[in-house]
Amino acid sequence: MKYKIRGDALPILDMELQEGESVFTESGGMAWMSPNIKMDTNMKGGIGKSLGRMFTGESLFLVNYTCEKDTGLISFCNEFPGKIVPFTLKEGQSVTCQRDAFMVAEESIQLKTVFTKRLGAGFFGGEGFFLQQISGPGNAFLEFSGEITEYTLEEGQTLKVDPGYIGAFEPTIDYNIVRIKGIKNMLFGGEGIFVATLTGPGKVWLQSMPLSNLVKKIVPYVSKK
């Protein structure tokens, strides 16, 4: 499988599939494709995993796209201004990501819902109790909003982050939610009452434009009409 990511604010992922190669995405994820690509809608992983995907904001059904002959082309587009980030995962390697981040992956990739271990992270983390996890081997593509900043945290190194800015992190990262100190900070600091902590070792991917922030900016203008 060959691929190319092009564009800037609203990037496009073009994939070139050889005969027999397959990728899967959520329902409605495909933008355009050549006529030799076969579409097969299914509940990948059974009813249990399908329901789990619903909790993370994904569709109940997933769609497989398989090249039937020769070379096929299929494209996917970002749903919002941001970036498409490719992940090449080895056997047993995985990445945990925010809800709605999954875009498309090779057939060998495992997509599942993971439970937020700590109650604080579940109630106040902005993503609820459920996150997504992609596991190798294979290539997978995640979509994030805004620009992406990648950090590699050392053992015990901690980064405090507004939960909406978290795009993805390796499973070795300890993810938790803590209360902001100081009454004035909580009431007038503009950051809310809680902040996320990401503690290493491992990599984290942060996005610069949480969709919730974008919606807050747009809503006042929409409500005036």
CATH of the domain at 97: 3.60.160.10
Is there a domain that residue 219 lies in?
no
Bridge partners, 22 (sequence order): 66
Is there a domain that residue 83 lies in?
yes
- Predicted local distance difference test score (pLDDT) of residue 70: 96
Determine how many CB atoms are found less than 10 A away from the CB of residue 136.
20
Which range (24-33, 44-53, 93-102, 131-140) has the least confidence? 44-53
- Predicted local distance difference test score (pLDDT) of residue 128: 47
Structural domain count of the chain: 1
* Confidence bin at 79 (pLDDT 50/70/90): confident
> What's the whole-number mean pLDDT along residues 39-49?
68
Is there a domain that residue 85 lies in?
yes
> What's the whole-number mean pLDDT along residues 145-152?
95
Residue 16 has pLDDT above 80, yes or no: yes
Which range (3-12, 32-41, 216-225) has the least confidence? 216-225
Is there a domain that residue 157 lies in?
yes
> What's the whole-number mean pLDDT along residues 155-162?
94
Task: Identify whether the C-beta of residue 49 lies closer than 8 Å to the C-beta of residue 133.
Answer: no
Is there a domain that residue 183 lies in?
yes
Residue 32 has pLDDT above 50, yes or no: yes
Percent of the chain with pLDDT strictly greater than 70: 74
Does 32 or 8 have the greater pLDDT score?
32
> What's the whole-number mean pLDDT along residues 25-43?
91
Is there a domain that residue 222 lies in?
no
* Confidence bin at 184 (pLDDT 50/70/90): very low
Segments forming the whole domain that contains residue 61: 2-210
- Enter the pTM of the model: 0.81
Is there a domain that residue 218 lies in?
no
- Predicted local distance difference test score (pLDDT) of residue 61: 79
Is there a domain that residue 146 lies in?
yes
